[in-house]
Amino acid sequence: MQEKFDEPAKKLLAPKFNALVDALQAVAAAASLGAAAPDGLDGSTVQDLLNALKKFADAHLADESNPHNVKAAQTGAYTREETDQAINNKVVAIGSGDMAQAVYDPGHLGVDACVQKYTHTKSGSVHNFAGSGVNGIAKITAAFNSGDTVQLNGVPVTATCGGDMVDGDTLVMGQWVAFAADAEAGQINFKGGGGLGNTKLAQATASENDVVASETFFAGNKEMKTGSLVDRGTVTTALSIKAGNTANIRIPTGAYRKKASSGYPEVTLTRSQILTAYSIKVRVDISAHLGTHGSTPYANATAKIYIDGTSKGSVSAESQNMNGADATKSTTVTVS
């Protein structure tokens, strides 16, 4: 009876049970088991949820943006600013401060913080400075002549030295020059200036005899010179007079710039100088007539005056009584 009862179970249930055991012992046995998905994960089986959990974990590990918002103070670490400062302090402390950017380039100017070497070339009348950086130096390879122009990396610019346009005293062949290059403003400013160079001084033609004594000046070159022209007083005596239709009055060489009481510099002439220069000849022709008016005697005389042969007038006088009284008459003539 028992055998009859067990026989169906062995034939029907045993294979199913064994198959279930084999399935549960398989590697992926749990993959198909149902499961309720928690918040934030998607899936209806254990395998689905395992896959979703792995994906979440991988994404979290790949996130470097500090998703938990952990602060340096929480871990006892330096902040970025504290780290930079600590490094700078250490570099300076060990004697390498000259190599720290915070020391040699605190403004982060890059090449503009240092002097850069440029190359100078000349083609025709054009001088070109090739290089980069605001602060430059270059060795001049050719002389700068009047009319020459300047370029910065092939672009024409205005070239100055101090307050003057650049010239041959600034760009001297074989010498080094320093400058500030501003391509944006279209200019290159050579360092130096503040005085006249030989090129411009050569255009000045004054000599010592042209400048008042004791006054200094520059002309022709950079050597200081002292004037020798006598600075005359307010009144000067003439040296001589050359007579003629007009008088040429000779005065001493010098600068006449001091005013007399008249408001002008004055030159004086002595009587002797005038008389020596002009030998004035005066001639007077006198004619007299004696006669009577009825029974009254009279005398009449006329004097004609000539200066250097030219008549300048006459004067007449008459006496009618003839009683011994003098008859006088006067006139004035002008010498011209």
Instruction: For 274-289, write each residue's pLDDT tens digit.
Output: 767 766 677 777 777 6
The pLDDT, as a whole number, for residue 131 is 94
Paired strand residues for 225: 217
Task: Judge whether 229 lies within some domain.
Answer: no
Domain co-membership, 184 together with 117? yes
- Count Cβ neighbours within 10 Å for each residue of 94-126 and write b for 16 or more, e otherwise: eeeeeebeeeeeeeeeeeeeeeeebebebeeee
pTM reported for the whole predicted model: 0.39
Domain co-membership, 128 together with 179? yes
Task: Judge whether 27 lies within some domain.
Answer: no
Task: Judge whether 239 lies within some domain.
Answer: yes
Which of 247, 323, 241, 330 lies closest to 284 in space, CA to CA? 330
| Residue 221 clears pLDDT 70, i.e. is over it | yes
Domain co-membership, 166 together with 239? no
Domain span at 295: 282-319
Least confident of 31-35, 67-71, 207-211: 31-35
Task: Judge whether 315 lies within some domain.
Answer: yes
Domain co-membership, 127 together with 99? no
Domain co-membership, 251 together with 289? no
Domain co-membership, 191 together with 128? yes
Task: Judge whether 305 lies within some domain.
Answer: yes
Domain co-membership, 99 together with 152? no
Say if residues 287 and 299 touch (Cβ distance below 8 Å).
no
Domain boundary among 108, 130, 153: 108
- Number of compact structural domains in the chain: 4
Size (the chain), residues: 336
The pLDDT, as a whole number, for residue 21 is 56
The pLDDT, as a whole number, for residue 3 is 61
Task: Judge whether 146 lies within some domain.
Answer: yes
Domain co-membership, 118 together with 94? no
Domain co-membership, 161 together with 190? yes
Structure tokens at 235: 């009144």
Domain co-membership, 127 together with 189? yes
Task: Judge whether 261 lies within some domain.
Answer: yes
% pLDDT > 70, the chain: 70
DSSP 8-state code for residue 82: H
Task: Judge whether 209 lies within some domain.
Answer: no
Structure tokens at 258: 């001091």
The pLDDT, as a whole number, for residue 209 is 92
DSSP 8-state code for residue 160: E
Domain co-membership, 122 together with 189? yes
| Residue 173 clears pLDDT 70, i.e. is over it | yes
* DSSP state string for 88-156: HHHHHHTT-GGG-HHHH-TT--GGGGS-EE-EEEEETTEEEEE--SSEEEEE--S---TT-EEEETTEE
**How much helix, strand and coil, in percent to the nearest 5, is found in the chain?**
25, 30, 45
| Residue 198 clears pLDDT 90, i.e. is over it | no
